[in-house]
């Protein structure tokens, strides 16, 4: 039997917090995923080529890919072929986008349609923006917002490489968009900046170097501001998906709970179907703070070595959002 992962390998307090989120039996398997090298997964960009064509195209470069169950257009390759994939003509031409399957779920759940106007409020590096354009068949309009200059230019570069021509990029603070574009968008994706706990990897110390409970509080303040902006920019009847790649309830259920308190019945969390990985309902309580029952309709993606840890919540705007 494999020895358990030593909690001392993680930042102070991180494991004790996870013990309040995951059952004991589940926690050990979750911790083990942090010691595994990340899997190499990519999504076909149907704007440039059909899903059916891509495996044959990669095979010409000696790359064998395996389709993922229940996520159409997603494939994995063995770790020893990752470099070959990143250096392949298909990758350099934007015919595919390397991305963890957990990151493919928020655009799929938002499900933007051709001809719609969509907002990606924290868009860099652009994988989800490109995915949404693909789902929209490159027909409609996407506003992609990024506040960090270096990340903004990477966003533009990735969008151009993918052949997407329905995206307008904006270098600005997403917290201002709601005031400037009230009730404009049919759908909004807020894949919020976060502490990235779901991406922790013990083989890469940089992934855990800046974690602290202070950082969690800092990110939560930013997330709440972005969430208000997302709701203000959403049309009545529109759909919003809020997601993070972290476990911290302060960045997940607590944020949704504050939104529900502020806007009352004008915002509703709705049930959603997650196509593939192991999931848990959003938690109802954290450190003696009770959340609105609706947060249990959100889903936590449990890391399993393929899927990274993620939180996803789908909401609809049912009325004008005057704060209550």
Which residues form the catalytic set? 245
Calculate Rg over the CA atoms of the chain.
19
Cβ neighbors of 93 (< 8 A, separation 6 or more) are 48, 161
The conformation of residue 283, written as its DSSP 8-state character, comes to P
Q: How do beta strands 117-120 and 185-191 pair? A: parallel
Using CA atoms, how far apart are residues 251 and 217, in angstroms rounded to an integer?
A: 8
Please answer whether residues 299 and 283 qualify as being in contact, where contact means their C-beta atoms are separated by less than 8 angstroms.
no
Task: Point out which residues pair with 244 in neighbouring strands.
Answer: 311
Please answer whether residues 188 and 240 qualify as being in contact, where contact means their C-beta atoms are separated by less than 8 angstroms.
yes
Residue labelled with tokens 């959003």: 282
By CB atoms closer than 10 A (0-12, 13-18, 19+), residue 321 is buried
- 3-state SS assignment for residue 198: helix
Question: Which H helix or E strand runs over 237?
Answer: strand 234-244
Tokens read off for 233: 């920019």
Tokens read off for 285: 């309580």
Please answer whether residues 261 and 246 qualify as being in contact, where contact means their C-beta atoms are separated by less than 8 angstroms.
no
Using CA atoms, how far apart are residues 277 and 12, in angstroms rounded to an integer?
A: 29
By CB atoms closer than 10 A (0-12, 13-18, 19+), residue 207 is middle
């Amino acid at each position: 039997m494999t020895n358990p992962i030593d909690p001392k390998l993680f930042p102070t307090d991180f494991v004790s917090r996870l013990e309040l989120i995951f059952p004991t039996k589940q926690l050990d398997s979750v911790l083990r995923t942090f010691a595994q090298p990340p899997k190499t997964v990519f999504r076909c960009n149907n704007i440039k080529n059909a899903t059916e064509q891509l495996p044959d195209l990669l095979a010409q470069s000696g790359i064998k890919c395996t389709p993922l169950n229940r996520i159409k257009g997603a494939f994995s390759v063995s770790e020893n072929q990752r470099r070959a994939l990143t250096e392949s003509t298909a990758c350099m031409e934007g015919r595919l986008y390397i991305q963890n399957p957990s990151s493919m779920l928020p655009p799929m759940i938002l499900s933007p349609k051709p001809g719609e106007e969509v907002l990606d409020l924290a868009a860099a590096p652009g994988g989800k923006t490109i995915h949404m354009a693909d789902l929209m068949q490159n027909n409609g309009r996407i506003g992609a917002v990024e506040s960090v200059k270096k990340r903004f230019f990477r966003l533009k570069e990735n969008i151009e490489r993918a052949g997407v021509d329905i995206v307008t990029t904006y270098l600005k603070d997403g917290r201002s968009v709601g005031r400037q574009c009230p009730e404009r968008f049919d759908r909004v994706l807020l894949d919020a900046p976060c502490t990235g706990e779901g991406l922790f990897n013990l083989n890469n110390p940089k992934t855990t170097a800046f974690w602290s409970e202070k950082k969690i509080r800092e990110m939560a303040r930013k997330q709440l501001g972005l969430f208000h902006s997302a709701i203000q920019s959403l049309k009545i009847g529109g759909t919003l998906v809020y997601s993070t790649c972290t476990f911290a309830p302060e960045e997940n259920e607590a944020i949704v709970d504050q939104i529900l308190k502020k806007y009352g019945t004008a915002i509703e969390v709705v049930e959603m179907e997650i196509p593939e990985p192991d999931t848990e309902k959003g938690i109802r309580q954290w450190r003696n703070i009770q959340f609105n029952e609706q947060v249990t309709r959100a889903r936590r993606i449990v890391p399993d070595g393929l899927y990274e840890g993620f939180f996803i919540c789908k909401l609809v705007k049912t009325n004008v959002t005057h704060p209550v």
